[in-house]
Homo-oligomer: A and B are copies of this chain.
Amino acid sequence: MPCGTKGAVKTLTPDELKTLNCEILLSNTYHLMLRPGGDFLKSVGGLHKWMAWDRPILTDSGGFQVFSLATLRKITDEGVTFQSHIDGSTHHLTPEKSIELQEQIGADIIMAFDECPPGGCDYDYAEKSMKRTHDWAKRSLKAKKRTDQALFGIIQGGIYKDLRTESAKFISDLNLPGIAIGGVAVGEPKPYMQEVLETTCPLLPKDRPRYLMGIGEPSDIVMAVSQGIDMFDCVLPTRLARHGSFWTHETGRETITASKYTSGTKPIEENCNCYTCKNFVTSYLRHLIIEKEILGHRLLTIHNLHFLLNLMGEIKEAIGKNEFQKVFKKYALIQ
């Protein structure tokens, strides 16, 4: 899922996202609650209509951003009080409020409100936070009124196997239409991600989609799929593009401002089908980025999203043919 944090995937139109075969995108409740606000979005018929996107949307619960962006947080079992990162105004978010907001926004998949502790937090904090997340998941489910939205629960528990096991069982028992794994891209050392998945995934119901939150490096995606994950979201393709970076299948992550591209007369990848590679050579893309021309940011965004959405397509096809290991190897070293 490409990220349309504030109701737009950076630089792109809905039409371009469709051309990229984007089937669903993510938007952030935290940002949308601050501007333009849930009441407003409800009044204009929801986010789909407002941003002219008629395919599925998933909204997160706002929890992660409250913990990563907002300041002066006060967390209690009831909910979180925080100050907006925009203007310092005070806001309050609870499971009930998060669900209300997500119902106003009108996404197709909505997320239970969770507490996402920092990656390296100690056992006691991870346990306390997990129990709070479980309580909030139950309250989120209870608060839900709309019947046309799928609520996913979120597994937490930090880097601790027994907590992850407990959380996986608890969230699975809620019998929700989908299950997410949170807290794996929040500063913990990388090897823990695979450990968490190895612990968690075997405990999850086989007939529900599994969503690994905030993950987007190609190597992490194939590793996670090998553990049974189905869905991902990440700002990486759009963020890399903003910094002039992109992926290639042969050499992994590259940066267009490198001097080797100064006179480049070939596309980023000659056999790539994206609009960027079909039309533009690297020396031109480099020129645009150096000149701070927005078109450069846009064209790299298109290539990066194509790369990642195409990877997901390759994975699906390979699994159908029982050839996933080929795809795994192809992407295992691309960050």
Contact = CB atoms under 8 A, between A and B. Distances in A.
A265 interface: yes
Interface stretch (A8-16, A77-85, A177-185): A8-16
Nearest to A52: B279
Q: How many copies does the complex hold?
A: 2
21 contacts: A6-B288, A7-B284, A7-B288, A8-B291, A8-B293, A8-B296, A10-B294, A10-B295, A11-B295, A11-B298, A13-B275, A13-B295, A13-B299, A35-B287, A40-B263, A40-B283, A43-B263, A51-B284, A52-B279, A52-B284, A294-B297
A8 B285 CA distance: 11
A279 B14 contact: yes
A281 B11 contact: no
Q: How large is the interface on A (under 10, 10 to 19, 20 to 34, 35 or more residues)?
A: 35 or more
A290 interface: yes
A280 interface: yes
Interface string A51-64: 11000000000000
Nearest to A12: B295
B50 A284 contact: yes
A10 B35 CA distance: 27
A13 B283 CA distance: 16
A44 interface: yes
Nearest to A284: B50
A202 interface: no
Given A294-B294, A294-B297, A7 B280 contact: no
Interface of A: 6-15, 35-36, 40, 43-44, 50-52, 263, 265, 275, 279-281, 283-284, 287-288, 290-291, 293-299
A106 to B, nearest CB: 14
Contact of A52 (B52, B280, B298): B280
A290 B35 contact: yes
Contact of A291 (B6, B43, B290, B295): B6
A6 to B, nearest CB: 5
Contacts of A36: 283, 287
Contacts of A52: 279-280, 284
Nearest to A9: B295
Contact of A287 (B7, B265, B280, B297): B7
B293 A298 contact: no
